[in-house]
Amino acid sequence: MKAIYMKATYDIITEPNPILRIPSVKTVTSEEIEEIKNSGMAQKMVKTLFSVQYSVGLAAPQIGITMRFFLFLHNKLPVFCFNPEIISTNDFKTEYIESCLSCSGSHAVDRNSDIKVVYTNLFKKQIVEDLEPMSSVIFQHELDHLNGILITDYKKEGN
């Protein structure tokens, strides 16, 4: 009998793969959240996130899944966000230098420093919270992935 080898982490999809440009319009259902949790997919995403040094977020499209969810480090803990939305922002934007698992190099991106968000977590609980600058930036970066936007789209003069 031949042994079957299963990779412990996902391969990260990189530019110019067109799947990164497809907006994820599929709302994740409660049943799908349960399947993601129980199938080992959530655990494998966390392992993938932690397998890359300095990684702070991983969106479903980056592993080939066009559903509206991502994982990010929030207060140093991995948090899954299903059907995430920004419900309010401040009027103040700051330039951040961001890197991405799917793009080469670092890029300057203007982001709101404080945002209020809503999402469903891995335990199917709806969360509404205010995010401080670091978590706010990561959340916005991962949400961009769900909308088919990459940091390379934020080209600024002089970059």
Residue 12 counted as domain residue: no
pTM of the model: 0.92
* Buried b or exposed e, range 73-111, using 16+ CB within 10 angstroms: bbeeebbbbbbbebeebeeeeeebebebbbbeeebebeb
| CATH code of residue 22 | 3.90.45.10
Classified as helix, coil or strand, 15 is coil
Residue 125 counted as domain residue: yes
Tens digit of each residue's pLDDT (9 = 90 or more) over 12-64: 999 999 999 999 988 999 999 999 999 999 999 999 999 999 999 999 999 99
Work out the pLDDT band at 4, boundaries 50, 70, 90.
low
Residue 13 counted as domain residue: no
**CA 71 from centre of chain:** 5
Which residue range is the domain that position 87 belongs to?
Answer: 18-154
Residue 3 counted as domain residue: no
% of the chain residues with pLDDT over 70: 94
Residue 4 counted as domain residue: no
Per the structure, the count of domains in the chain is: 1
Residue 8 counted as domain residue: no
Query: Is 32 known to be catalytic?
Result: no
Residue 2 counted as domain residue: no
Tens digit of each residue's pLDDT (9 = 90 or more) over 128-144: 999 998 999 999 999 99
Catalytic residue, from 35, 85, 142, 157: name it.
142
Residue 29 counted as domain residue: yes
Stated as kind and residue range, the H or E segment containing 32 is: helix 30-38
